[in-house]
């Protein structure tokens, strides 16, 4: 029984240690993030900002460095289109 408790504790410590090593950190470069992330899709890019999505999180890069992480939804851009019908 004691050996089993020790194995559970060691497993928890190992998992927590891996999480802190592989978790994205603010200030890391996009290349470092790409090496640690299994799947990442670019969602948006404009004016020095890039937004990538991995899992349920959005990662915002400013000039190639991770600026912040958002667990919510990406704001949608709205476009207004004016249709002009030409009569002859």
**For the chain, what is the radius of gyration of the CA atoms?**
21
Q: pLDDT grade, residue 21 (50/70/90)?
A: low
Higher pLDDT, 47 or 72: 47
Q: Is the pTM of this model over 0.75?
A: no
Tell me: pLDDT of 20 over 50: no
| Mean pLDDT value of segment 9-18 | 59
Mean pLDDT comparison of 43-47, 53-57, 59-63, highest-scoring range: 59-63
Where b means 16+ CB within 10 Å and e means fewer, 50-87 reads bbbbbeeebbbbeeeebeeeeeeeeeeeeeeeeeeeee
């Amino acid at each position: 029984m004691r050996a089993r408790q020790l194995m559970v504790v060691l497993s928890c410590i190992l998992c927590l240690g891996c999480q802190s090593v592989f978790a994205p950190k603010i200030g890391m470069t996009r290349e470092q993030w790409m090496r640690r992330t299994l799947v990442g899709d670019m969602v948006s890019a404009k004016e020095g900002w890039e937004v990538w999505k991995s899992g349920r999180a959005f990662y915002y890069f400013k000039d190639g460095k991770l600026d912040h992480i958002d667990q919510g939804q990406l704001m949608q851009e709205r476009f207004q289109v004016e249709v002009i019908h030409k009569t002859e």
